[in-house]
Amino acid sequence: MIPVRGFEGKKVAVFGLARTGLAAARALAAGHAQVVVWDERAAARDAARAEGFVLEDLTTADWTSLCALVLSPGVPLTHPAPHWTVEKAREAGVEIVGDIELFARTVAAAPAHRRPKIVAITGTNGKSTTTALVGHVCRQAGRDVRIGGNIGVGVLGLEDMHGGAVYVLELSSYQLDLTSSLRPDVAIILNISPDHLERHGDMEGYVAAKKRILLNQGKGDTAVVGVDDPWCAHIVTEITALNRRTIVPISARRSMGRGVYALQGMLYDATGERVTEVADLTRAISLPGRHNWQNAAAAYAAARALGIPEQVAAEGLLTFPGLAHRMETVGAIGRVRFVNDSKATNADAARQALASYPKVYWIAGGQPKAGGIESLADLFGVVAKAYLIGEAEDAFAATLNGHVPYARCGTMDAAVRAAFVDARADGEDAIVLLSPACASFDQFADFEERGEAFRAAVHELAVPAQREVRA
């Protein structure tokens, strides 16, 4: 745990008692703040009470007694409307912060010799893979690495800091909206495409949230930014004009005179006086596809900014074991391979998976995002058949009608069974791909639970299939 500094003896309210909220409450208490907590869910309040936290109903509390409100990133700050806690805090002049901001202030309050290195990573897609990849490369180089934020452990639940540590943090746009003083040694913006617009109002608001990761960087810091989409390309132009930091553009689409880029799977370093070949990423079995090559370019650039030698960084990329729910092979039955890409919660993320295979039996659907899957029309040719689940079933069927054969399956189990029957009848090597292009909340608690349901369905298929082979 990282005890939070700067709130000693002050009353701080924590609203939202899921993973990050509880970690923040524990860390504030460890830093000797006077902590009160609240959640609209009775079960969450009971769990906090069992840990010994003081519950205070914030609907009737005296807000003038509070120094700050620590808000869960899942609670609306501005759109579609400010949450009632946000309105009460603003009326009382109470500062609203998130757990990343508490971490940033604690780092800033530490003596210089105890301050760790920070690599902060955001983007619409690829954040989790890149965060884990940077952490892996740093560990392979012998660094003391802690990985958290929007992945795994909430940042304040990580081991306490020291001057030799490296914190590798995945940051969502929701977390960045609540952060004002973080200064990463390396800030990465991988890519930006429309997502979470209901929480940011419009694309301008979403891009502004992502750009907050660069807010406090200065001389000696490094910004690693993808240039394969127009929003990020514009950000590079903006920050180049400021001339405050080292800028490393990254691309998986084109060669560049300066930066790190991947072409046809070969990673190149063009940050020095000459261009060097770094690694053949086609050998990295856990990093298939052009989108993963962009992730690798970003991880390599971050590693080099931290002083990790070129060859050590390259070896780290090639030995990365991959992440669950991100183009993860969960099993094979005969010539049919099952790939779990449950993390693909929007069409742009699903695009990365669809573009990585010549033909797929595609399981898609869930709680739909704005625009559905219409933007994927240019990839419908790789879909042998689609198997639709969840709330998006009708909308996706309408989009696919006349272009791609599809089946309305409703549930994950039914979709996996139907896809396997068709893929096995193909008679060739075949891929059954779960890449939903949707949120999971209509049928599952989160994308992890959805991915585990896919894995379980595949394993249920495997047992009778193995019996059939033995017979």
Residue 377: pLDDT over 80 = yes
Q: What's 36's domain CATH number?
A: 3.40.50.720
CB within 8 Å of 314: residues ≥ 6 apart: 267, 278, 279, 300
Q: Which residues pair with 408 in a beta bridge?
A: 388
Distances (CA, A) of 465 to 46, 334, 335, 417: 45, 9, 12, 12
| Annotation marks residue 200 as catalytic | no
Give the end-to-end CA distance of the chain in Å, rounded to a whole number: 55
Q: Which two tokens stand for residue 159?
A: 């081991």
**Tell me, what's the pLDDT at 453?**
97
Q: Does position 471 have pLDDT exceeding 60, yes or no?
A: no
Q: Which domain holds residue 127?
A: 110-318
CATH number for the domain that contains residue 271 = 3.40.1190.10
Q: What's the rounded mean pLDDT across residues 358-367?
A: 97
- Of all residues in the chain, what percent carry a pLDDT higher than 70? 98
Last residue of a domain, one of 318, 342, 376: 318
Q: What is the mean predicted confidence (pLDDT) over 332-339?
A: 95
Catalytic residue among 88, 117, 150, 200: 150
In a domain, 323, yes or no: no
If you average pLDDT over residues 196-204, what whole number do you get? 88
Among 274, 294, 318, the domain boundary falls at: 318
Residue 434 located in a structural domain? yes
Do 28 and 142 fall into the same domain?
Answer: no
**Do 63 and 173 sit in the same domain of this protein?**
no
Is residue 4 included in any domain, yes or no? no
Residue 29 is assigned to a structural domain of this protein: yes
Please list the residues that pair with 70 across neighbouring strands: 14, 97
Instruction: Note whether 66 and 128 are same-domain residues.
Output: no
For residue 400, what is the domain's CATH number?
A: 3.90.190.20
Taking only the tens place, the pLDDT of each residue in 128-153 is 999 999 999 999 999 999 999 998 88
Same domain, 116 and 47: no
Distance CA 104, CA 451 (A): 33
Residue 46 has pLDDT above 50, yes or no: yes
Whether 176 and 81 map to the same domain: the answer is no
Answer whether the bond into residue 80 is a cis peptide, omega within 30°: yes
- 1 within some domain: no
Same domain, 363 and 454: yes
Q: Are residues 153 and 282 in the same domain?
A: yes
298 located within any domain:
yes
Task: Average the pLDDT over each of 42-56, 79-93, 190-204, 389-403 and give the range with the smallest value.
Answer: 190-204
Nearest to 145 by CA among 137, 96, 466: 137
- Residues sharing a CB contact under 8 Å with residue 300, sequence separation 6 or more, in sequence order: 137, 260, 267, 269, 278, 279, 313, 314, 317
Q: What is the mean pLDDT of residues 421-443?
A: 95
* Annotation marks residue 79 as catalytic: no
Nearest to 297 by CA among 315, 319, 279: 279
Task: State the total domains in the chain.
Answer: 3
pLDDT at 97 over 60: yes
Give the Cα separation of 292 and 250 in Å (integer): 12
- Res 469: pLDDT: 44
* Domain assignment present for 123: yes
Please tell me the distance from the alpha carbon of residue 278 to that of residue 307, in angstroms, as a whole number. Answer: 16
CA distance to 10, 63, 331, 336, 467, per residue, from 461 (Å): 56, 56, 10, 11, 10
* Rounded Cα–Cα distance for residues 67 and 33 (Å): 10
Shared-domain flag, residues 463 and 346: yes
Rounded Cα–Cα distance for residues 371 and 114 (Å): 47
**Looking at the structure, do residues 182 and 129 belong to the same domain, yes or no?**
yes
pLDDT tops 70 at residue 467: no
Check whether residue 91 and residue 225 sit in a common domain: no
Look up 196 and say whether it is catalytic: yes
118 located within any domain: yes
Q: Which of 127, 291, 325, 343 is flagged as catalytic?
A: 127
Domain boundary among 49, 76, 97: 97
- 286 and 398 belong to one structural domain: no
Query: Are residues 242 and 347 located together in one domain of the fold?
Result: no
Task: Name the active-site residue from 117, 196, 211, 343.
Answer: 196
pTM, two decimals, is 0.82
